[in-house]
Amino acid sequence: MFRVWAKIFKENRLLRDTVVIDDSAATRTSKVFHALEEACRELDLSVPIWLDKNIAEFKRIAKTRFTKDSFIETVDFDFLEFHVIEEDAIL
């Protein structure tokens, strides 16, 4: 099972969150992109752009924060935190 927790913060307060579950046989990268798209749909957001800092941070700790710079549209929050909370074991 692959689960991702997406959370919207403003002034260090959690405004909204959602958990996306993906049980498909897709690759990890596909699951990550799908989970981000699904989380943004549920939170009524445009999908953010993966900047170099987001990619490096996500590779290192499976978590990243998308700030206002990552969105094309104007957003009314400080950041979207995107965090893998459960991942399939690699055998």
pLDDT tens digits for range 41-90 = 999 999 999 999 999 999 999 999 999 999 999 999 999 999 999 987 65
74 domain-assigned: yes
DSSP string, 17-67: EEEEEE-SS--HHHHHHHHHHHHHHHTT-PPPP--HHHHHHHHHHSEEEEE
In a domain, 91, yes or no: no
**34 lies in some domain:** yes
Domain that holds residue 78: 2-86
Predicted pLDDT of residue 88: 76
Residue 31 lies in a domain: yes
Cα atoms in the 13 Å half-sphere on the side-chain side of 48: 28
Look up residue 85 and give its two tokens: 């909370």
Within a domain: 38: yes
Q: Whole-structure pTM over 0.85, yes or no? A: yes
20: in domain: yes
**Structurally, how many domains does the chain consist of?**
1
71 in a structural domain = yes
